[in-house]
Structure 1
Amino acid sequence: MADTELDKTPSKLSGVDKASILLLSLGEETAAEVLKHMGPKEVQVIGMQMASLRNVGKGAVEDVVDEFLEKVEEQTGIGIGTEDYIRSTLKSALGEDKAGALIDRILAGANTKGLDTLKWMDSRSVADVIRFEHPQIQSIVLSYLDPDQASEILSLLPEKVRVDLMMRIAALEAVQPDALQELNDIMEKQFTGSGSSQSRQIGGVKTVADIMNFMDGANETLIMDSLRETDEDLVQQIEDLMFVFDNLIDVDDRGIQALLREVSTDTLIVALKACEEDIKEKIFKNMSKRAAELMRDDLDAMGPVKLSEVEAAQKEILTVARRMADAGEIVLGGGGEEMV
């Protein structure tokens, strides 16, 4: 993992940068208490950033702490994997001695059970767990997990089964309590914890669209083309529900401004490299005049960028946008209030 030297001004720090600096500034016990209240993805994102930070200036730390104190009543939404991953990341960030007590407190508070345990595993491990299960079980598991994790797992499964799984997920509507309990029990045989008898409304076309949103360009095209050969109407429904980078044009100005505060400048520049002009103008008009001018200059001076890098940057921004939408901080597709 490449080290990150933060010499940026506070306004250019992403939310993850700020959260990482803040946690590294806290004592072990306090940091552990904060991390225990985060979900798998939040711990993953912030843990990776903590591990990469080097040479953070005193001024940056003070600015981050001051900003946190001003917003102390707000919650920071940030998302990780296996126990070994947590140990490795935090030892890299804090050193083995300091990380020891912190890691124990974090892992003691995880309280994962049955199917929820899969959310704390890396995608390759989950793929190995479900690889030889019946496709219907695989489809339920993928529907149960968060879309970004499900997308990664799907890409690790054999190509010939991906389209079938997407068709099954699209056809899912609800899983009966006894069926979900049985599946939970299967997972518990490999892990620990107690099951839940609550029914879950999982699957459906929207779930497929959410998973597709996190697919890389090549796999997305392959799966959609294969689905189109089988069910053109289904593909149209999926496309209608997918939120892609160009859809940011429909987010209101207040939402764009909030999103820009959570995205690093470097990521944004790469993401805008292959955008239509209307998307660029949408972004520029929600920045300060000076910041917009600097970004235009950076884009003009930027050399050729691989399409895969542009897609990765755009998906990173979309991940932040979806997280903020889930938290009620922005509205995807418009409908929010304009800034006045």
Structure 2
Amino acid sequence: MNMVTAMGEPPELKRYSGAQRAAALMLVLGREHGASVWEHLSTEEVKDLSSAMSHLGRVPASVAEHLLVSFSGEMASMNALHGSFESTERLLDGILPGDRVREIMEDIRGPAGRTMWDKLSNVNEALLAGYLKNEYPQTVAVVLSKLKPDHAARVLGQLPKEVSVDVVQRMLRMETVQKEVLTQVEQTLRSEFMSNLSRSQRRDPHEAMAEVFNAMDRQTEEAMLGALDESIPESAERIRALMFTFEDLGSLVPSAVSTIVRQADKRQMALALKGAPGSMRQLFMSTMTERSAKLMREDMAAMGPVRARDCEEAQNALVRLAKTLADNGEILLVDPKSDDTMIV
């Protein structure tokens, strides 16, 4: 799909990869003129091109004109094109069969996975259970029978007890599921659950950036936020509000801290606590046995002087562990800047 650049190209064109140039060209061609091109592409090529198109965003008219010189008169009157999930789906709809369009859009929107059951295995168990609890128990049994055992177990744990017991009994009695039934369940999941999930999972870019800032060392983090304070202060404030720091672990209840302590690398935790305020050390050690706390103090003393950066990296590792535990449902983290208490 790479397009050969020509002399006199607009400077903006350099920002676009070959796939992005092809995607912009197909947007210009539209449904009528692009149909014959789409029909000759393989499924993988359609997915690649559709993915590039859906993430394209604004395309300057000068770039569009360069990519389609033969339509220069028409393009001269345009300010920009805009590629999005919606415009991509509208373009594909009518050119390709409906089920193929849905499959392609699911793949480029996520969750990741090649089949419907792969995708469901990447869906949070609480979200999936929230949907399944309103379905017929037999349907739930079919869905869970297709999931990986560990994921199915977590979903069962999120269902109301009377529902989960009924589902388990049906799974025990279940024989081979007819292909027609499985197809119908897949279609229902695709149209009612996955499409809604894809729309709801579009993230605020500030959330993604807050995660990036969480992974930075503090000197870089402070420098970057300081620069944002001067250029886009509202974004800097939003990012700060979304960031979860090592100090925020001090707001966790002891049982949540205990879960972190049990699963953390002990040397890494000793390094993190060595550079922590006394109150944080006390909180973590209060969840340990007397012997474990003593060994932790001895490990910290035996380290001698350590670099501040090493302590910060160890503290960031504990923050990442806390987020992983929260994603797995083992602890619950609320917005650290809110007035709510963090609970297990």
| TM-score where L is the length of structure 1 | 0.42
